[in-house]
Amino acid sequence: MKPEEQLSKIQNVESFEAKVGAQLGGPLRATSITTLQVNVGKLCNQKCKHCHVDAGPDRTEIMERPTFEKLLKLAQSPQITTVDLTGGAPEMNPHFRWFVSELRALGKKVIVRCNLTILMVGRQNADLAQFFADHRIHVVSSLPYYEKSWTDRQRGEGVFDRSIQALKLLNSLGYGKSGTGLELDLVVNPPGAVLPATQGTLEPVYRESLKRNHSIEFSRLITITNMPISRFLEFLERSGNLESYLETLVNAYNPATLEKVMCRDLISVSWDGWLYDCDFNQMLELKVDPSVGATHLDQIESIEQLNRRPIVMRNHCYGCTAGSGSSCGGQLD
């Protein structure tokens, strides 16, 4: 579904932009950009039902070396402390290891949004987990449920078993173990048209179950709201849940979350170098506000240009402000 069509399907609720504008007396603005979130391509070994990127094995969009080089230049700014790599499966990009090594040499914290199964696929990935540990990468991985049922239903047949193998491998290298400094966070998104539970509700259940049944440990559990875009939007429409889900998001609007939404200190870069306020705006092709003076890596002179920019908002943003709030780092309060 094209981005304009997606946006049109979620427009029949109170305008998020107008609501926030009335609350703040003007647009929501970024603060100081500390995180570069880089979507290195849409290629993935999985095809998850909720994926907002519409990623999969058949996608060909992939970041090339010159774009990575421009990002390295941008990342040199001391203002950038963290580079957050996502996809698709970011590890499937042929420049992944080189880029990570360069970032670590610059002293940047590197987050990889790893789907876990990629660690268990193919000879070329046999030492990937060790590469993560050697470069002290912060691994953030989706595991929507602590059992096979909902995990495979959402992410594909056999994904749970391979994810468990991958988590055991990461644990064996020190990931998720206290005192190692190797962070392993699990991401839980709801199994359907409901808001996520609080992290405080789910984390003890996951921790106990994964430990008891699989001897697996992890650092933190983070919850993320399903955004009403792309494949999840198609599901909402197909299942007759669209109206009620939007109503749930709107009714759960929590103004306090605006302080901490991720677009305020993050810039999202697409595989072809365009700049966005977040990965969701990227998929909806909503580029950064033109007042920045640069909407592409080729045009940007310094990261400071992106500070204080007005955030481009549409109704999908209700997903980040519902209840406890939601971001790539989990709930906001």
Partner 1 sequence: MSNNHGPDCYYQGKDLKKFGDITKHSPDLGKKFFDYYSAVFAPGALTEREKSLIALAVAHAVQCPYCIDAYTTDCIQKGCDEAQMMEAVHVTAAIRGGASLVHGVQMMNHAEKKLL
- Judged by the rule CB under 8 A, the positions of this chain that interact with partner 1 are 145-147, 149-150, 188, 190-192, 194-197, 201-202, 204-205, 240
Minimum CB–partner distance for residue 265 and partner 1 (Å): 29
Q: What tokens appear for 86 in the block?
A: 């996502």
Minimum CB–partner distance for residue 143 and partner 1 (Å): 12
Q: What tokens appear for 325 in the block?
A: 């709030």
Q: What tokens appear for 239 in the block?
A: 């299942």
State the DSSP code for 253. B
CB nearer to partner 1: give 170 or 188.
Answer: 188
CB nearer to partner 1: give 56 or 191.
Answer: 191
CB nearer to partner 1: give 188 or 224.
Answer: 188
CB nearer to partner 1: give 147 or 333.
Answer: 147
Q: What is the distance between the alpha carbons of residues 212 and 88, in angstroms, rounded to a whole number?
A: 31
CB nearer to partner 1: give 32 or 213.
Answer: 213
Q: What tokens appear for 266 in the block?
A: 């993050």
CB nearer to partner 1: give 192 or 310.
Answer: 192
Q: Prior bond to 174 cis, omega within 30?
A: no
Give the residue among 236, 328, 312, 283 at the shortest CA–CA distance from 21. Answer: 312
Q: Which DSSP helix (H) or strand (E) runs through 186?
A: strand 184-188
Asked if 62 and 93 count as a contact pair (C-beta separation under 8 A), the reply is yes
35, β-bridge pairs: 82, 266
Minimum CB–partner distance for residue 241 and partner 1 (Å): 11
Q: What is the distance between the alpha carbons of residues 250 and 13, in angstroms, rounded to a whole number?
A: 8
Asked if 142 and 88 count as a contact pair (C-beta separation under 8 A), the reply is no
CB nearer to partner 1: give 149 or 291.
Answer: 149
Minimum CB–partner distance for residue 150 and partner 1 (Å): 6
Minimum CB–partner distance for residue 202 and partner 1 (Å): 5
CB nearer to partner 1: give 126 or 194.
Answer: 194
Backbone angles phi, psi at 233, to 5 degrees: -65, -40
Q: What is the distance between the alpha carbons of residues 330 and 326, in angstroms, rounded to a whole number?
A: 5
| Dihedral sign for Cα atoms in the order 227, 231, 233, 238 | negative
Minimum CB–partner distance for residue 206 and partner 1 (Å): 8
Minimum CB–partner distance for residue 193 and partner 1 (Å): 9
Minimum CB–partner distance for residue 106 and partner 1 (Å): 39
CB nearer to partner 1: give 173 or 197.
Answer: 197
State the DSSP code for 311. P
Q: Could you tell me if residue 134 is left (phi over 0), alpha (psi between -120 and 50 degrees) or otherwise beta?
A: alpha
Minimum CB–partner distance for residue 207 and partner 1 (Å): 12
Give residue for tokens 């609720």: 13
